[in-house]
Amino acid sequence: MTYLEAFKREFRSIFKYKGMMIILFIGPIFLTLFFGGVYYNDYVKDMPIAILDEDGSSLSNLVSSYFLTNERFDVTNYPASRQELQDLIDGGKVQMGIYIPKDFESKVTTFKSSEILVITDGSNIVIANNAMAQATLIAQSISAGIEMKLIQGKGVLPGIAENMALVYNLGERTLFDPKMTYMNYLIICFLAVFIQQLMLAAMGATFIRDSEYVSEGNVLAKALATASACFVGMIPAIIVCVIILMTLFHVPIIGNIYTAIVLTLLFILTLIGPSLVIAALTKDRVKYSQFEFMLSLPTFASAGCVWPVDQMPKLLVAIIKAFWPLVYYGKIVQEVLIKGTDFKTVTPYIVQMIAFSIVWICIGIVLYKRAFNKNDMKVQTAEA
C-alpha cells in the first residue's frame, strides 16, 4: 500500500507544481525539436570553397566544373595566388581550397605524375571530414575518366579501355543509414540524455522538497513511486517525441518498441539511486540542479554515443560503468531502434542495469536516510 499511496501522491504533485509539468512534458518535446532542427539537414551542404587554377587548361576547367556542380560545395572565390588561397582559409572565408598546378594537363596527358592539392580547414572536424570525403570521390571519378580517355587515345576500344582503367570496383553498401546522417547517428542518444536529465530533475525536486515524507518509513517504496509517477507523467511527451522524430525528421525507427520500453524502464530504475545520493549530498534544490546539470555533457560523451566505448581506456570504462548508467542505455537503445537489435543481444545490458540499480539504490537509501531522517539527525546531534 505504501507504494500505491506514494504513487498517487507524487502523481498529483505533477499537476500541482508548474515546474514539474514543464520538466516532464514540455522539456522533452522542446529539446527534441531544438536538437532535431540543428541536425535537420542530412549532411553538410554548400560549403564555401576556393579554386586556384594555375594551369587554365581544358582539363583543369573540367576539374573545376565537377566542384561547381556538386551540391556539397559552393565555389565562392578564385584566388590569384597560393598566399591568397591560404589567407582565405585562415580568415574563415572558405572551408576548403583546391589548387591545380601549372602544366597539370600536359603532365597528365604524357603519363607523368601530377597532383591536385586539397587544403581543408581542420578546425571543424564535421566540415573537414565531409569536404575531404566528397573531394576524394570527385578526384577518383576524374582520374578514372582521364585514364580511360588516355587508353582510348592509343586505339583501344571504349569498353576495353574502361575495363583496363577500372581494374576493380569497390562495391559499397551502407546498412541502416545509407546517407550517414548526423541526425540518425545522434538524435536517439540525445533523447536518452533528455530523459536522464529531466527525470533526475523531477525526482530530485521531490526527494528534496518532500524529504520529510520520503525519508520516513519505507524509503524504497516511496522512491520507486516517485520515479514511477515522474515516468508516467513523461510518457505522453516521449510518445510525441518519437512521432516527431519519425514524421518531421524522418528518423528510420525500425526496431522493436517493446525492447526499447524495457530498456527505458530499467534505465529510469538505475537513476533512482544516483538521484538519492545527489539529494543526500546537496540537501538543496539549487545545488542539486547545478550538480545534475553538470552531468549531462560528461555522461553523454562517455556513453559511447560519440566515441566507441571499446576505444576508451579500460580503467576509465570500468569507472564509468560503476558510477553512471547511461553507458548501458544511450547507445544501446539507439541500436535497438535504428538497427533493429533484438532482445537477446541487449540482455547483458539489462542484467548490468539491474545490478547497478540494486547497488546504487541501497547506497542511496542509506545516505538519504542519514541526511534527512529526523530520528537519525537527532542521534547524530546527540552523539556530536
Alpha carbon distance 221, 3 (integer Å) = 5
**In order of start, what are the domains of the chain with their CATH numbers?**
2-39+181-383 (no CATH), 47-165 (3.40.1710.10)
Q: Per the confidence metrics, is the pTM higher than 0.85?
A: no
Contact status, residue 348 vs residue 355, Cβ threshold 8 Å: no
Contact status, residue 359 vs residue 333, Cβ threshold 8 Å: no
3-state secondary structure of 379: helix
Task: Specify the pLDDT at position 149.
Answer: 61
pLDDT tens, position by position, 219-275: 999 999 999 999 999 999 999 999 999 999 989 898 899 999 999 999 999 999 999
Alpha carbon distance 223, 221 (integer Å) = 6
Phi and psi at 53, nearest 5°, equal -110, 100
Task: Specify the pLDDT at position 126.
Answer: 80
Alpha carbon distance 237, 230 (integer Å) = 12
Which grid coordinates belong to 256?
A: 522493436
The DSSP bridge pattern shows strands 96-100 and 73-77 to be: unpaired
Task: Specify the pLDDT at position 381.
Answer: 46
Alpha carbon distance 38, 27 (integer Å) = 17
Alpha carbon distance 23, 28 (integer Å) = 8
Task: Specify the pLDDT at position 167.
Answer: 46
Contact status, residue 138 vs residue 67, Cβ threshold 8 Å: yes
Task: Specify the pLDDT at position 317.
Answer: 95
Residues of the chain with pLDDT under 50: 164-168, 377-384
Helix (H) or strand (E) holding 117: strand 117-120
Task: Specify the pLDDT at position 315.
Answer: 96
Alpha carbon distance 146, 77 (integer Å) = 26
Largest CA distance in the chain: 103
- CA distances 231 to 224, 237, 364, Å, are 10, 10, 19
Alpha carbon distance 69, 217 (integer Å) = 71
Alpha carbon distance 354, 115 (integer Å) = 58
Alpha carbon distance 277, 228 (integer Å) = 18
SS3 track for 39-107: CCCCCCCCEEEEEEECCCCHHHHHHHHHHHCCCCEEEEECCCCHHHHHHHHHCCCCCEEEEECCCHHHH
